[in-house]
Amino acid sequence: MTQKYEYKVSIYREPLLGSIFLGGSRVNPERYTEFLNRNAADGWEVVTMERESRRELIFFKREAFLTIMKRDING
């Protein structure tokens, strides 16, 4: 039997409001952990993750995590 997977790409970032008031926004580790655990409960496993800083509204920076996940579709 061949192993088959489905993949999911998610961009996780904090709300823009923090960037506007603070000039920049970093990802909250507790909230990102909750995001990962919610996906894990649905069978998703992180394959890779990349941190990036995105510019918003010209003056503000917001940290984001691009997360690629997979899960077995064989059951």
Q: Which residues of the chain have pLDDT under 50?
A: 18-24
- Closest alpha carbon to 13 in 58, 46, 52: 52
pLDDT at 17: 54
pTM of the predicted model, to two decimals? Answer: 0.74
Domain boundaries, the chain: 16-72
Please give the Cα distance from 36 to 26 (Å, whole number): 17
Q: What is the pLDDT of residue 39?
A: 97
Tens-place pLDDT, residues 51-63: 887 666 666 677 8
Residue 27 confidence (pLDDT): 79
Three-state DSSP class for residue 32: helix
What pLDDT was estimated at residue 33?
94
